[in-house]
Amino acid sequence: MAISITVRRATAQDAESVATCLESAFEPFRSQYTREAFEDTVLSPQAVRARMQQMTIYVAGIADFKIVGTIAAAMEGEEGHLRGMAVLPAWQGHSIAKHLLHVAEHDLATAGCVRLTLNTTMPLQRAIRFYERNGFIPSGRITDFFGMPLHEYTKPLSLHPPADSD
């Protein structure tokens, strides 16, 4: 049975569901994060609403729009940045992340973005493989993320991206 996935921009009313999604997706990695890094990654509903003032947050929903995934995107000049991608554990492997990424990339490319970045940590190996399959490469830039190495990945962006995989 095919799953119908819809991606839309989040509203303030979605903040609780976005926070729950982040918490559920990152909980298995809590012990591999510093306390501060985990708190900066797993946002409270209030922090989600604050992020909405700086970034566009997208949500992926199924059926009667039960939120099962999220990603945030922002653009400065011609460079876009992604952050906070999360998919509920029960929905990982169902192309939710691919749908979220495609919508965010399309919107950024339409707005004139030519280069996209994201940062990730080494505990997130499955996410890193996903990003690499979808055209991201390590830039070599590593910064400190509350006591953890934070690795930057980058990707050129256009309105007609090549086909990718989940």
Domain annotation for the chain: domains and CATH numbers: 5-156 (3.40.630.30)
What pLDDT score does 69 carry? Answer: 98
41-99 tens-digit pLDDT: 999 999 999 999 999 999 999 988 899 999 999 999 999 999 999 999 999 999 999 99
Q: Is the pLDDT of residue 115 over 80?
A: yes
Please give the DSSP secondary-structure letter assigned to residue 161.
Answer: P
Please give the DSSP secondary-structure letter assigned to residue 103.
Answer: H
3-state helix, strand, coil in the chain (%, to 5): 40, 35, 30
Whether 89 and 28 have beta carbons less than 8 Å apart is answered as yes
Q: Given pLDDT bands bounded at 50, 70 and 90, which one contains residue 109?
A: very high
**Of 102, 97, 162, the residue nearest 135 (C-alpha):** 162
Q: Given pLDDT bands bounded at 50, 70 and 90, which one contains residue 161?
A: very low
What pLDDT score does 165 carry? Answer: 47
The chain-wide mean pLDDT, for the chain, equals 94
* Range 116-127 average pLDDT: 97
pTM: 0.92
Q: Is the pLDDT of residue 162 over 80?
A: no
Structure tokens at 134: 């979808």
What pLDDT score does 160 carry? Answer: 60
Q: Given pLDDT bands bounded at 50, 70 and 90, which one contains residue 163?
A: low
12-30 tens-digit pLDDT: 999 999 999 999 999 999 9
Give the β-pairing of 66-76 and 79-87: antiparallel
The residue type found at 77 is: G
Look at the chain and count its residues.
166
Report the C-alpha gap between 166 and 150 in whole angstroms.
23
